[in-house]
Structure formats: C-alpha cells, structure tokens
Amino acid sequence: MRRVAVIGTGITEFGELWDSSFRKLGIGAGLAAVEDAKISAEQIDAMYVGNMSAGRFIRQEHVGALIADYSGLVKDHVPATRVEAAGASGGLALRQGFLAVASGLHDIVVVGGAEKMTDVSDTESSMIQSSAADQEWETELGATFAGLHALIATRHMHEHGTTREQLADVAVKNHKHGSLNPKAQFRREINRDVVLRSPIVASPLRMFDCAPSSDGAAAVVLCPLENAEKYAEVPVEIVGSGQASDSLALHNRKDICTMSATRVASDRAFAMAGLSQDDVDVAEVHDNFTISEVLAVEDLGFFAKGEGGKATEDGRTSLEGDVAINTSGGLKARGDPIGATGVAQAVEIVTQLRGTAEKRQVKDADVGLAQNVGGTGATAVVHLFRRA
Amino acid sequence: MATAPRFWRENPSRYNLVGFKCNNCGNHYFPPRIICPLCRRKSVGKIEPVRLKGTGTIFSFTEVHEGMDEQNMQRPYIVAMVELDEGARITGQVIDCDARDLSIGTEVRATLRKLSEEGSSGVIHYGYKFIPLCNGPAASENE
C-alpha cells in the first residue's frame, strides 16, 4: 500500500447561497483545490464526489458526470464517481480517493463534496435529512432526524447526567470558533441564553442545537506521498482511514448513547496510523446536533463515556483545550452542506496542520482527526492526518 | 407521493405488530427480517413470525415540534423508543398524554391509529401508536 498525501484544498463559502447553483459550487471548490495543488487538468486520474441527495434537493442525479463535465474533465474522459452515505458521503468519498491512490491504481485524485440544500423549503430539507434514518420504521412513524437525536440526548442525560447547559456549551464553543473562520456560515458568537431560549425543535433539542441547512462545496487533491513535495510546500499525510457500519435504525442498537460505528472506525484508523488519542492536537467531529459532539468526543476516545458534556463545559474541547474540537465552527457554525461536510472537515484539518488557520490556529498542530457520520450512526468514517 | 403497495405490504406489522423470533438465539425483533442479524445463516429456516404483545416501557422519548409535513396537523407530538416486553425495541408516537407526565420507564401499550394521510383525498395510513398504561385500558379500543 502506498502512503497518500493531501496536496491541495479548496472550499466555497457556506450558507444560503441563493445565486449559486450546485454545479457552480462544486466547480468553485474543485478549481480552488487544483490551483492550490498547482496541477493541471491533464494530470487528474480520477474524481470522487460526495453527495447525499441531489436527486431530492435539486432533482438531479448522476452528479459525478455533471461535475466532471463542468470542470472540463470529460475532454480526457476522467472517471468520476458519486459516493453516498448520507451525512458521511464526503468522508467516504475521501476514503475512496485514499484507497485509489494507496492501491497504486491512480496517482492524482480529486475528492469533492457538494450539496445545494436551500432550493427546497425548510420542511422539505428536514424530511430529506430524515431519509438517512430508517424511512419505513422510524421516519414514517413520526421520528424526525432531530427527533432521533433527541432520543439519544434524553437517554444520555438520563444515564450519564449530561445537562441541558452542557449541550448549549457545544453550540457556544462552535459559534466562537466559527466567528474566527471567514468561510463559516455563522460568524457571530452566542451565549448559553441564546441556545436555551431558542425554539424547541424536538425536546430537549432547540434550534441552536441543530446544524443549519447549507449550500456549499469542498475539495482536496491527493497524490502518493513520495511525489507530494513537488506540489505542496507542506504536504499532509493521511496516516489512517477507518470506516464502519451499524444498524440503520437507532432502536436496533443496544446502547444508544454510544455510536459503535464511530468507535470501530476510530480504532481502525488509529491502528493503521500507529497513533493514540493523546497524539491528536485538533479534530473535526460530526456535530450535526450538539448531543452528537458529546457522543463523538467520548466514542473517539478523547474522554470517558459520560464525560463529554463536562469536558465541553470545562473548556477542554476549545481552541486552548486538551484537544481542539471543531476549530472551523463545526457543522453547527461553519455550516452543513451534507455531502460537502466530510471533505470540508479534511480541508480544515489540513489548514491547521499547514499552520495557516490564522486566528483559529492551534499551536504546533501536528496530528489531526476528522470524524464524519451518516444517519444516526449507521455509517462512520474516521481519518487521521499528520504533517509530512 | 408514495404508491399504496409501499404501505400495504407492511400492514401486517403496522396493524398487528408482527415481528419475528429467531429460534436459533431466541431473540425477538421488529419488524420482520429474512435472517437474524446475529445468527445470520444459522437462522435460515428458524425465523418464526410472532405477534408481539405491544406492552413495554419507554426507553427514551422526545416531543417533536418541527420538521415533518405529514404530522404537521398534530404538532407537537411525542415520539418514543419503546422496549417491548419481548425485548425488541420499536419507535412510535405516544398519544393521549402530556410529555410532562412521561419519563423513561413509563409503561405503555400499543394501539391502532391513523398515522398520516396523503392530501384530502389520498390514501390514509394506519399503524401503531402507544398509550401510557396508567391511562387505563380503553374498552372501545380495537386491538
């Protein structure tokens, strides 16, 4: 297996981008990544595009070919593959790109992720997101995507004493980090009261516990590590990649306060990298809801089960904490264009490890982690990165 | 809008809580599956359809205020994950009660209700919802 490096990154602004189409967003991120890697189109061997539901958001399927076409890559008939695993689509596209380069099949691969969510109403968007859960045995019985995460939150508070305030602290921290990220959808700090007074979505979760609907795209360029210095001043190696599946429906899991898929994907990534949690300086985790970040920091092994809320409250996950979690603002503040999210996480980690994260830079960041989740934890993808 | 067969084919489970028992490991599951997720190939030929009693306790619950067209008329509504007496867990609405009166561990039983309808002249979907046991057994209920 060959070692793989990230040699270019690109990301669009995230938000309600009324004047940007899906294809404009995808190409914007892709061109920026290719320019950053200083490669030419002729060098690209393959492309992977993470996208959850273009068919329902913009009534367009076959978006791998679409992005290849509008990127000018069909002149050379570059193979383009769409990758779907609901919220984990982007992370999984990255893993496909990683596998393609590691295997020796391809040398230069572009991995993109894109979603255009705001061409449909909020209710429609919420229903599309709910289709990541079990449509026949959860959603159609009334369980929304937020509702399922509320079931997790209620149970986590019951079993581990996690407080409503600690959940709010996740949003407060991520908005603070978002205020330092010029590409974030929300760049305004909030306090606990803002979260606790926002309208209830599914009790105990309120509006400010939920990541927004967003438009946006992100891309990275991969190549074998041995060639990376030709393209990048500071190449970043992907030192570990892990993926795991779990039951589609939340009710089929014995312990709903743990995302076993995250645990297993993380174990696999750490084993591949030969690293441990103590080595990680910065991590992007899948905070589609505040409770999800609490579970993530526990299941990734940064804190013991039940300690995630307390660790957040104590500032141990902030920029200056033990491990800086979601320096980009996370899904909550940077935004969550579903298929783009996993790739955007990789862009943030590479930016941190290159030392170019400016106001939100984690000092001497050497090792970073990205955790991307599909559904209520039926798919998890974890990647570990290290400055080469 | 989904076609009628998509709902119709699940009616035995939606109306009568038909799950299955794996006679290899003895576990109950809902809804039916072709093979047991634990025993896999060893369960072939040992899957027995079982009508679950519909009584159990609340494992977790939430009051949903936002997010779904089909339930909009009923908002807010309560959704719970119920642990049935046979051991299987199931997700559904809890009705005829106030969220403040519920807690983890509250005993509930299943009942048949309207789940949703497709527009004013479309198909009406029926299925299970749950009622707290402390509301007492309603004699008029058709279970």
Direct distance between the N- and C-terminal alpha carbons of chain A, in angstroms, rounded to an integer: 17
Same domain, B37 and B102: no
Radius of gyration of chain B (CA): 16
CB contact under 8 A, B67 and A256: no
Residues 6+ apart with CB under 8 A from B79: A141, A142, A143, A144, A147, A151, A202, B61, B62, B63, B64, B91, B92, B93, B94
Best CA proximity match to A301, nearest among A342, A324, A270, A343: A270
If one compares B143 and B74, the residue with the highest pLDDT of the two is: B74
CB contact under 8 A, B77 and A142: yes
Radius of gyration of chain A (CA): 19
CB contact under 8 A, A256 and B81: yes
Cα distances (Å, whole numbers) of residue A15 to A60, A208, A279, A340: 20, 16, 33, 12
Residues of B in contact with A200 (CB under 8 A): 63, 65-66, 76
A38 touches chain B (CB under 8 A): no
Peptide bond into A212 cis (omega under 30): no
pTM exceeding 0.95: yes
Residues of A in contact with B125 (CB under 8 A): 140
Is B143 a residue whose pLDDT tops 60?
no
pLDDT reported for residue A207: 98
Q: Which domain holds residue B44?
A: 18-51
Same domain, B66 and B5: yes
Is position B142 within any domain?
no
- On the question of a common fold for A4-121+214-236 and A132-212+239-387, the answer reads yes
Is position B143 within any domain?
no
DSSP state of A174: H
Is B73 a residue whose pLDDT tops 70?
no
Same domain, B74 and B42: no
Per DSSP bridges, beta strands A215-224 and A109-116 are antiparallel
Largest separation between any pair of C-alpha atoms in chain B = 48
B39 token code pair: 């025993």
**Would you say A379 and A245 are in contact if contact means Cβ atoms under 8 Å apart?**
yes
Q: How many structural domains comprise chain B?
A: 2
Same domain, B35 and B97: no
A150 touches chain B (CB under 8 A): yes
Tens of pLDDT along B24-63? 999 999 999 999 999 999 999 999 999 999 999 999 999 9
Same domain, B129 and B93: yes
Same domain, B38 and B89: no
Distance of alpha carbon A40 from alpha carbon B97, whole angstroms: 64
Residues of B in contact with A376 (CB under 8 A): none
pLDDT tens by residue, chain A, 388 residues: 999 999 999 999 999 999 999 999 999 999 999 999 999 999 999 999 999 999 999 999 999 999 999 999 999 999 999 999 999 999 999 999 999 999 999 999 999 999 999 999 998 999 999 999 999 999 999 999 999 999 999 999 999 999 999 999 999 999 999 999 999 999 999 999 999 999 999 999 999 999 999 999 999 999 999 999 999 999 999 999 999 999 999 999 999 999 999 999 999 999 999 999 999 999 999 999 999 999 999 999 999 999 999 999 999 999 999 999 999 999 999 999 999 999 999 999 999 999 999 999 999 999 999 999 999 999 999 999 999 9
B92 token code pair: 């559904």
pLDDT reported for residue B134: 86
pLDDT band at B139 (very low <50, low <70, confident <90, very high): very low
For A279, the enclosing helix (H) or strand (E) is: none
What CATH architecture applies to the domain A132-212+239-387? 3-Layer(aba) Sandwich (3.40)
What secondary structure does DSSP assign to A347-373, as a single string? HHHHHHHHT--GGGPPTT--EEEEEEE
How many Cβ atoms from other residues are within 10 Å of residue B105's Cβ? 10
B130 touches chain A (CB under 8 A): no
The residues in A 256-285 lying below 8 A from B, measured between CB atoms, are 256
* Domain layout of chain A by residue ranges: 4-121+214-236, 132-212+239-387
Residues of A in contact with B90 (CB under 8 A): 137, 251
Is position B140 within any domain?
no
Same domain, B22 and B90: no
pLDDT reported for residue B142: 44
Query: Domain of B5: which CATH number?
Result: 2.40.50.840
B61 to chain A, closest Cα gap in Å: 5
- B121-136 mean pLDDT: 87
What secondary structure does DSSP assign to A99-121, as a single string? HHHHTTS-SSEEEEEEEE-TTS-
Same domain, B106 and B37: no
Same domain, B26 and B4: no
Same domain, B128 and B73: yes
CB contact under 8 A, A151 and B61: yes
Same domain, B108 and B97: yes
- Specify which residues A237 forms β-bridges with: A5, A386
Q: Report the residue of chain A nearest B130, measured CA to CA.
A: A141
Q: What is the arrangement of strands in the sheet containing B28-29, beginning at the earlier edge strand? A: B28-29, B18-22, B47-51
Same domain, B41 and B66: no
If one compares A224 and B124, the residue with the highest pLDDT of the two is: A224
pLDDT reported for residue B72: 62
Is position B3 within any domain?
yes
Q: Which CATH number fits domain A4-121+214-236: 3.90.110.10, 3.40.50.10320, 3.30.1340.30, 3.40.47.10?
A: 3.40.47.10
Q: What is the arrangement of strands in the sheet containing A367-374, beginning at the earlier edge strand? A: A80-83, A46-50, A109-116, A215-224, A4-11, A236-245, A379-387, A367-374, A282-284, A324-325
**Would you say B71 and B64 are in contact if contact means Cβ atoms under 8 Å apart?**
yes
pLDDT reported for residue A352: 98
